Structure 1
Amino acid sequence: MNIRRARAEEAQQIIDFQIDMARETEDVTLDRSIITPGVRAVFDDESKGWYFVAELDGQIAGSLLITFEWSDWRNGMILWIQSVFVAKEFRGRGVYRALYEHIQTLVNSSDNYVGIRLYVDKTNTNALQVYEKLGMDSQHYGMCEWIK
């Protein structure tokens, strides 16, 4: 399996993954006219984030988005994992684990990065089990949000 930064020409695959993920995990239909420029904006401006992909059997098997949060408490950047998706035909083959371990290696090899966070729908028990199996703690903080 090869884990790498996604390329701009792979944006359409990531857009399709995001539409599938929202439908599957939250029964939400994303508006393609909004998600398309949203994904492309990440490729146009690295300060917004970075997409990573996992290649398996010559195909993009999964992807995730990294965004950034400055922590004054820790004097470093926390990498947020977002928009995780693994194509159905590749599930159970360690795709997410490989993506996560790649991000963990980035954090461990840099003095600028101090941790990894992600949020997960509390009803998504499959994802919670995967994240906890990888050593992530879901007990420390709750998340509140206001979205326009």
Structure 2
Amino acid sequence: MTVEITAQVRRATLADGDAIAQFNLAMAQETEGKALDAATVGAGVVSLMHQPQYGFYTVVETQTGLAGCLLITYEWSDWRNGLIWWIQSVYVHPDYRRQGLFKQLYAQVREWAQAEEACGLRLYVEAANHSAQSTYTALGMKPAGYQVFEALF
């Protein structure tokens, strides 16, 4: 049985940067088996926080501290004449999983997106991460029918 705990969801501040970077390092290791460079990730978190035109971090905080985060970045949709908010870098600390914290994060982000007249939310998920896919489906999200291709530099 899932027991939901109440937490505060808020936009992150620079003071949250170290915790967010640690969450990102843990997420990459856990979901993809990748050991990222801590200095690069830390600099990337701070860099985004100084460039809000690219997006923002959201954190979920319990009485004992930060328990998770996610990143929102923006994609312009000419088809919809509006912004799609991309949910990225989702992480909930293992001690807080299955307690409704991502549900609270998602609900707040959805509310903000609608208030700011975004035209939708999207995210990508590892093909083998069935647990996350179940969570997203339970929140009303649907597979978009696209595959992600990339060319990283």
**Segment drifting more, 135-144 vs 72-81:** 135-144
Cα distance in structure 2, aligned partners of 1:5 and 1:59: 14
Question: Who is 1:11 aligned against?
Answer: 17
Task: Report the equivalent of 2:145.
Answer: 140
Letter in 2 for 1:44: H
1:57 Cα deviation after fit: 2.2
1:47-75 Cα shifts (integer Å, max 9, x gaps) = 12100000112311110000000000001
Tell me, in whole angstroms, the C-alpha distance in 2 between the residues paired with 1:139 and 1:75: 19
Match among 45, 49, 56 for residue 51 of structure 2: 45
SS of residue matched to 2:119:
strand
The reply to whether residue 118 of structure 1 matches residue 123 of structure 2 is: yes
Gaps of 5+ in 2: 1-6
Secondary structure, aligned partner of 1:98: helix
Structure-2 separation of matches of 1:137 and 1:116: 11
Whole-angstrom distance in 1 between the partners of 2:151 and 2:80: 25
Give the alignment's TM-score, normalised by structure 2.
Answer: 0.92
Aligned counterparts, 1:82-121, within 5 A: 82-111=88-117, 113-121=118-126
Per mean C-alpha deviation after superposition, the further-off stretch among 137-146 and 93-102 is 137-146
Q: How does 1:44-83 map to 2 (within 5 A)?
A: 44-83=50-89
RMSD of the alignment, in Å? 1.0
Q: Does residue 29 of the first structure (1) align with residue 35 of the second (2)?
A: yes
Would you identify which runs of 4 or more consecutive aligned residues in structure 1 move more than 4 Å?
none
Unaligned ranges ≥5, structure 1: none
- What is the CA–CA distance in structure 1 between the aligned matches of 2:133 and 2:103, rounded to whole Å? 13
Number of corresponding residues:
147
- Tell me which of the two structures has the higher relative contact order, counting C-alpha pairs closer than 8 angstroms and 6 or more residues apart: 2
Identity of aligned residues (%): 38
Residue in 1 aligned with 2:135? 130
